[in-house]
């Protein structure tokens, strides 16, 4: 009768059938978050610590650190042209500053750079997990980028290295994301790597390294052409613009001056066959007593002061004669400088030690009695796009700065660790080539080749500078993590001997198989 009146008879639900009730939505969310943190606890902790340290740096060193190059970058951002790019600074970073210049705040620039560095870490972590690395190893490979004191200090400067690293690593990760990248992916990767090259000229050589990798990997001719065309279009386009503006098909109108400064350290004019005019450029100091910093011969040497940018070709002719007649001496000099980046037991001399002080957070920005003068970071005067150094007396010591100074002095990746990363990469390529995971070894080799190439190109074409080695920390560390993963895979056979105990990598937050749509 109740049915006739429209009242439904209760139907036995899941509980009545003995099935478990669905958990509350809040419990599901909490459970998902707990599972996520369990799988990714290492990188989560790392990012929290890295973000906290960067927040302290932003607070303690307002608004940003200043370096002489900062002034050139800011001025170049006001008039985007090769004639105002101030030599080797190129156009990439001035464009970046021009975009952020809408805020007219250098503090915004440094905050964005800190955030870009952390975002790069997240993307690189996802990449490493997709490649099967356990969470702890992926986090270990990214710890130098998150925690290294010099890395954090450099992010707080109005300088190009952070943007350069983000562009370069983004291009590499994109090309390596899948086993066989598509031609569109390679094209975008070429644009990113070329963007890095237009931010720092050493990136031009990296385009060649990536090109060789794509050829060796046999990813396909379309992919190789797409990468090459994209990178060449950007770089040749900029060079053409430079030629139309300055009359020189070169990245800088002072290319000869920079090469002169580097070769002046080894030039033995008593043995060199030079013209009388070229001999006017011979350094006055004996070969064994030359300045440790090559840039001294660029900005302070009385010989070079007589030759302006309009005589750059002549200055470069001296450098070319040194390279032609003293190739071994120059090669040994480059190798000695490279060893300071990669090997322990090769300390800097007084001049480079002072320069290295610019990349360590200071407790007190003032030059105190008993300290070597001019060896500390300086703050930008005010928050606006001025590009001038603030007086040191405006930044006395504080407890926060004292803590950060102690941290940045001790939290530094030793050179030997980077050298070990290169050795591990080489081992991962030659060890048990026929075993699975050889692609990981090749990809690790790409990171190692890029990291070492950055160092070699920097010391060969410019100078040994602690700042120029910092981008390689990120590149070599990621490559080292991939190499360790490959070596572990070749040494471990437990999963093959006992397939029943093998676990699905996706259950541990590792990579999962791509779906048909993803492959497409």
Nearest-angstrom CA–CA distance, 271 and 325:
9
* Distance separating alpha carbons of residues 324 and 508, to the nearest angstrom: 56
**pLDDT of residue 36 exceeding 90:** no
Task: Give residue 496's pLDDT.
Answer: 52
* HSE-up (13 A, CA, CB side) for residue 233: 12
For 168-187, what is each residue's pLDDT tens digit?
999 999 999 998 999 999 99
What would the mean pLDDT of 461-469 be, rounded to a whole number? 91
The pLDDT of residue 504 is 44
| Band of residue 2 on the pLDDT scale cut at 50, 70, 90 | very low
> Per residue in 353-376, pLDDT tens?
999 999 999 988 877 777 777 888
- Structure confidence at residue 137 as a pLDDT band (50, 70, 90): very high
Higher pLDDT: 204 or 38? It is 204
Residue 396 CB: number of other CB atoms within 10 A? 11
Average pLDDT over the chain, rounded to an integer: 85
- Kindly state the average pLDDT of the residues 297-304: 88
pLDDT digits (tens, 9 = 90+) for 62-102: 999 999 889 889 988 888 887 654 544 588 999 999 999 88
Q: Note the pLDDT of residue 171.
A: 97
CB 256 within 8 A of CB 277: no
Pairing mode, if any, of strands 378-379 and 65-66? antiparallel
pLDDT at 243: 86
Residue 436 binned pLDDT confidence (cut-offs 50, 70, 90)? low
Question: What b/e string do you get for 16-36 counting C-beta neighbours within 10 Å, with b at 16 or more?
Answer: eeeeeeeeeeeeeeeeeeeee
Q: Residue 486's closest CA among 133, 2, 35?
A: 133
Say whether pLDDT at 509 is over 90. Answer: no
Q: pLDDT for 232-279, tens place per residue?
A: 999 999 999 888 887 778 787 788 899 999 999 999 999 999 999 999
**Is pLDDT above 60 for 4?**
no
- Is the model's pLDDT at 389 over the cut of 60? yes
pLDDT at 24 over 60: yes
In this predicted structure, what is the pLDDT of residue 506? 40
Degrees, nearest 5: CA angle 152-157-43? 25
pLDDT digits (tens, 9 = 90+) for 397-425: 688 999 999 999 999 999 999 999 999 99
pLDDT one-digit tens code per residue, 215-235: 999 999 999 999 999 999 999
The Cα–Cα gap between 255 and 314 comes to 11
Q: What is the pTM of this model?
A: 0.86
Which pLDDT belongs to residue 471? 96
In this prediction, residues 342-359 reach a mean pLDDT of: 92
Tokens 């070329």 appear where?
Answer: 194
Torsion sign over Cα 111, 465, 98, 170: negative
Least confident piece of the model among 47-56, 213-222, 298-307 = 298-307
Question: Per-residue pLDDT for 394 more than 60?
Answer: no
pLDDT at 306: 87
pLDDT for the residue 494:
41
> What is the C-alpha separation between 77 and 46, in angstroms, rounded?
34
Please report the pLDDT score of residue 398 as a whole number.
Answer: 82
């Amino acid at each position: 009768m109740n049915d006739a009146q429209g009242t439904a008879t209760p139907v036995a639900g899941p509980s009545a059938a003995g099935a478990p009730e669905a958990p509350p939505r809040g419990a599901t969310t909490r459970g998902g978050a707990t599972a996520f943190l369990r799988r990714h606890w290492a990188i989560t902790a790392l990012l929290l610590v890295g973000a906290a340290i960067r927040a302290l740096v932003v607070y303690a060193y307002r608004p940003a650190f200043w370096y002489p190059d900062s002034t050139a970058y800011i001025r170049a951002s006001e008039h985007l042209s090769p004639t105002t790019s101030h030599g080797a600074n190129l156009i990439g970073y001035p464009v970046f500053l021009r975009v952020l210049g809408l805020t007219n705040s250098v503090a915004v620039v440094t905050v964005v750079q800190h955030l870009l560095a952390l975002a790069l870490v997240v993307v690189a972590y996802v990449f490493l997990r997709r490649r099967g690395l356990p969470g702890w190893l992926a986090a270990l490979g990214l710890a130098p980028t998150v925690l290294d004191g010099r890395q954090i200090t450099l992010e707080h400067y109005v300088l190009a290295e952070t943007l350069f690293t983000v562009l370069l690593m983004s291009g590499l990760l994109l090309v390596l994301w899948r086993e066989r990248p598509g031609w569109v992916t390679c094209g975008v990767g070429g644009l990113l790597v070329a963007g890095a090259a237009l931010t720092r000229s050493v990136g031009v050589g990296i385009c060649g390294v990536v090109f060789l990798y794509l050829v060796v990997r046999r990813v396909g001719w379309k992919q190789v052409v797409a990468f090459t065309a994209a990178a060449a279009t950007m770089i040749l386009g900029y060079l053409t613009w430079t030629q139309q503006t300055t009359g020189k098909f070169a990245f800088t109108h002072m290319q000869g001056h920079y090469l002169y400064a580097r070769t002046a350290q080894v030039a033995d004019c008593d043995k060199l066959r030079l013209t009388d005019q070229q001999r006017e450029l011979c350094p006055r100091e004996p070969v064994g007593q030359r300045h440790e910093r090559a840039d001294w011969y660029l900005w302070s040497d009385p010989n070079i002061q007589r030759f302006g940018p309009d005589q750059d070709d002549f200055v470069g002719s001296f450098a070319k004669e040194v390279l032609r007649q003293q190739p071994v001496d120059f090669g040994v000099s480059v190798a000695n400088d490279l060893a300071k980046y990669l090997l322990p037991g090769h300390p800097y001399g007084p001049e480079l030690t002072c320069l290295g002080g610019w990349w360590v957070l200071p407790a007190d920005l003032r030059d105190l009695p008993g300290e070597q003068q001019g060896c500390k970071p300086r703050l930008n005067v005010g928050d606006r796009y001025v590009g001038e150094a603030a007086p040191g007396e405006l930044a006395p010591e504080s407890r926060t700065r004292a803590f950060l100074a102690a941290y940045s002095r001790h939290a530094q990746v030793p050179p030997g660790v980077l050298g070990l990363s290169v050795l591990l990469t080489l081992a991962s390529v030659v060890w048990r080539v026929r075993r699975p995971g050889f692609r990981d070894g090749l990809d690790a080799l790409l990171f190692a080749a890029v990291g070492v190439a950055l160092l070699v190109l920097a010391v060969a074409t410019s100078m040994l500078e602690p700042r120029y080695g910092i981008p390689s920390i990120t590149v070599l560390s990621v490559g080292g993590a991939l190499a360790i993963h490959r070596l572990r895979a070749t040494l471990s056979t437990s999963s093959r001997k006992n397939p029943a105990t093998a676990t699905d990598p996706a259950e541990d937050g590792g990579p999962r198989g791509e779906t048909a749509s993803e492959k497409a």
